[in-house]
Amino acid sequence: MVDRQPLPSWNDGPARSAILDLVARVTKEGSAEFVPPAARIATFDNDGTLWCEQPLQIQFFFAFDRVKQLASKDPALSERQPFKAVLERDYNTLFSLGKQALFELAFATHAGVTDEDFVQAATEWLATARHPKFDRLYKECAYRPQVELLGYLRENGFKTYIVSAGGVDFMRAFADEAYGIPREQVIGSSVKLRYDLIDNRVSLVKLPELNSFGDREVKALNIALHIGHRPLLAFGNSDGDLAMMRYTRSGSGARLALLLHHDDAEREAAYDREFRLSPLSEALDKAQDYDITVVSMKKDWNIVF
Amino acid sequence: MVDRQPLPSWNDGPARSAILDLVARVTKEGSAEFVPPAARIATFDNDGTLWCEQPLQIQFFFAFDRVKQLASKDPALSERQPFKAVLERDYNTLFSLGKQALFELAFATHAGVTDEDFVQAATEWLATARHPKFDRLYKECAYRPQVELLGYLRENGFKTYIVSAGGVDFMRAFADEAYGIPREQVIGSSVKLRYDLIDNRVSLVKLPELNSFGDREVKALNIALHIGHRPLLAFGNSDGDLAMMRYTRSGSGARLALLLHHDDAEREAAYDREFRLSPLSEALDKAQDYDITVVSMKKDWNIVF
């Protein structure tokens, strides 16, 4: 349909070939592997897969700024853990909480805010906040090869989704602008909401209580709940994405599970098992057994941002 | 964009005018009330709003056939309540359970089945099963004026959703064919799923435990979770839809909440408060106070099916 080469930021190699092959197979009308557009679903993890997550997931920087704001109104907060660790950027203490507890802390900083006001606040923050390491707006920390891949899939009739452990409303504040993914195609962790009816007007208010933490097996369950189709393609970068990748890969017909390996210290970061908030270990060690295609940031991408 | 009159199955009157007016206002580029297509969301209840629910919701007939199947393998079942009442079509006993418990019973009849096998079974059942009152396939029990309305909204850039207390997977088996609504735009009640990994293959198995019952306030919460936009238009037919209607109606800008009143004993059914499984009472009594537009099946529709 277009005469340029697809995926120009991807180097020739097994990963790019596997993507082109999957798309060719499922879109070829009349072939046994043809899949109608309605069932062409691709799911992507967000942190570390679509944009960077080093030194830690970007949503935490947003939450930390919120803690600073809250502490300025209530100075006692700065003496209490885990807020003290947040204000002192004491990553060791914070990481020891673990991924879920740290996300719960982040979510709780916006308890009492409506979902609509939250998206507004996140949008405003993202308009100017800059990444401490890459010196660019956070929302410009999306990986160019992935943005190309999302577009290529959509050109071929796929619906592209985010399926992340990150907070759903935070991602909705930038997913359309950064990735071309509309709000209803963002699936993530969520807090419980309270239905408030005051003066004939309804608001939904965030509570400091987790509704769902969208990591590991929950990614597969969330796909079933929100989408109702097993994906044809899933892309992750950590063991938290393994359940989604195996769910996808073990469907019938042509399927592809991709794993981004951050092995590029020069252009982005080199890490896997040692990243305590979201380690990559089993998915890397067992990629071959599980039919997972490993993508090397260093070898497979000719540009990162 | 087309020169035929929109909504030909709708009679001229306040309801049809309110719909045309909303669409004109939110699609007029440059006007203060213009809404970009990404935020043009319309949500519809299913049972009693998009298709009929008398003498009871169609999903129950599917569950009852399943109980019959299970009882043929395990005859002791036919002596135990509530299965006895199901097999004897003892509506009085069944209705006394209440809406949520009856749906939970229906959902539990498919515990142990994967979500994919369930949709397959429901699709097969719907291919031949006929409505006892209207003598037509269940999937042909959709209201023609509503199918027209869904199409009209989509032609004007809306995304159309089902937001129902019915089981999400059951509705996904027919929503595309009956209403043109794809699986991922169906939101409903759900059971918990178990992630099963056997021989390198993942299945998601339905458990006999409720995950979410999508009625009343939960409809608004589900919209926030799954869609992330407050709808411009919501359509319901019972007090179970009131929260969604008030959430929709109280958003800023042009919004419309519609309530279908079944007042047509001749062509379909006449009922409201006395339908124990899903009564219509407050929404009808307070429609004016809540800015809800009542649609009379008898007066506003010139055809039903």
Q: What is the pLDDT of residues A98-150, one digit of tens each?
A: 999 999 999 999 999 999 999 999 999 999 999 988 989 999 999 999 999 99
Q: Which residues in chain B are contacts of A289 at CB distance < 8 A?
A: 200
Q: Which chain A residue has its CA at the smallest distance from B190's CA?
A: A225
**In this prediction, what percent of chain B has a pLDDT beyond 70?**
99
Q: Mean per-residue pLDDT for A179-186? A: 98
**Cβ separation B38–A227 shorter than 8 A:** no
Q: Which of B126-135, B214-223, B286-295 has the lowest mean pLDDT?
A: B126-135
Q: Which chain B residue has its CA at the smallest distance from A171's CA?
A: B228
Of the candidates B183, B220, B240, B226, the one whose C-alpha atom is nearest the C-alpha of residue B53 is B240
Q: Which residues in chain B are contacts of A176 at CB distance < 8 A?
A: 38
User: Count of residues for chain A?
Assistant: 305
Angle at A145 between CA A143 and CA A148, to 5 degrees: 110
**Cβ separation B250–A201 shorter than 8 A:** yes
Q: CB of A168 within 8 Å of any CB in chain B?
A: yes
Q: Which residues in chain A are contacts of B200 at CB distance < 8 A?
A: 246, 250, 289-290
**Cβ separation A197–B172 shorter than 8 A:** no
Q: CB of A227 within 8 Å of any CB in chain B?
A: yes
Q: Mean per-residue pLDDT for A191-203? A: 97
Q: CB of A252 within 8 Å of any CB in chain B?
A: no
**In this prediction, what percent of chain B has a pLDDT beyond 90?**
95
Q: Mean per-residue pLDDT for A248-263? A: 98
Q: What gap in Å lies between CA B259 and CA B280, rounded to an integer?
A: 10
Q: Which chain B residue has its CA at the smallest distance from A226's CA?
A: B184
Q: What gap in Å lies between CA B305 and CA B297, rounded to an integer?
A: 11
Q: CB of B232 within 8 Å of any CB in chain A?
A: no
- Given a cut of 90, is residue A226 above it in pLDDT? yes
What pLDDT does B4 receive?
Answer: 74
pLDDT tier at B27, thresholds 50, 70, 90: very high
Q: Which chain A residue has its CA at the smallest distance from B223's CA?
A: A184
What pLDDT does A3 receive?
Answer: 54
CB pairs under 8 A between A and B: 93
Distance from the Cα of B75 to chain A's closest Cα (Å) equals: 33
- Given a cut of 60, is residue B127 above it in pLDDT? yes
Q: CB of B116 within 8 Å of any CB in chain A?
A: yes
Q: What is the pLDDT of residues A22-32, one digit of tens each?
A: 999 999 999 99
pLDDT tier at B234, thresholds 50, 70, 90: very high
Interface probe for B, chosen from A199, A221, A249 (most Cβ of B below 10 Å), is: A221
**Cβ separation A226–B169 shorter than 8 A:** no
- Could you please report the per-residue DSSP string of B157-169? T-EEEEEEEEEHH
Total-model pTM: 0.96
Residue in B182, B193, B227 closest to A224 by CB: B193
Q: What gap in Å lies between CA A83 and CA A233, rounded to an integer?
A: 39
Q: What gap in Å lies between CA A56 and CA A166, rounded to an integer?
A: 12
What pLDDT does B3 receive?
Answer: 55
Distance from the Cα of B247 to chain A's closest Cα (Å) equals: 5
Q: Which residues in chain A are contacts of B224 at CB distance < 8 A?
A: 115, 193, 204
**In this prediction, what percent of chain A has a pLDDT beyond 70?**
99
Q: Which residues in chain B are contacts of A204 at CB distance < 8 A?
A: 220-221, 224, 247
Q: Mean per-residue pLDDT for A71-93? A: 92
Is residue A235 within a helix (H) or strand (E), and if so which, with residue range?
Answer: strand A233-236
Residue in B172, B227, B247 closest to A228 by CB: B172
Question: A133-139: long-range contacts at Cβ-Cβ below 8 A with a sequence spacing of 24 or more?
Answer: A133/A52, A133/A54, A133/A55, A134/A52, A134/A305, A136/A305, A138/A51, A138/A58, A138/A61, A138/A174, A139/A174, A139/A177, A139/A178
Residue B91: both structure tokens together: 């509506």
Q: Mean per-residue pLDDT for B52-75? A: 94
pLDDT tier at A90, thresholds 50, 70, 90: very high
- Given a cut of 80, is residue A10 above it in pLDDT? yes
Residue in A183, A211, A228 closest to B227 by CB: A183
Longest dimension (CA), chain B: 68
Q: CB of A202 within 8 Å of any CB in chain B?
A: yes
Average pLDDT value for chain B: 96
**Cβ separation A38–B183 shorter than 8 A:** yes
Answer whether B202's CB lies under 8 Å from A243's CB: yes
What pLDDT does A4 receive?
Answer: 74
**Cβ separation B202–A172 shorter than 8 A:** no
Q: Residue ranges of the alpha helices (H) in chain B?
A: 14-27, 58-73, 83-87, 91-97, 99-108, 115-128, 144-155, 168-172, 175-179, 217-226, 242-249, 282-285, 297-300
What pLDDT does B261 receive?
Answer: 98
CB atoms within 10 A of CB B82: 16
Of the candidates A236, A221, A237, the one whose C-alpha atom is nearest the C-alpha of residue A269 is A237
Q: CB of B211 within 8 Å of any CB in chain A?
A: yes
**Cβ separation A172–B228 shorter than 8 A:** yes
Q: Which residues in chain A are contacts of B220 at CB distance < 8 A?
A: 195, 202, 204
Q: Mean per-residue pLDDT for B141-166? A: 98
Q: CB of B115 within 8 Å of any CB in chain A?
A: yes
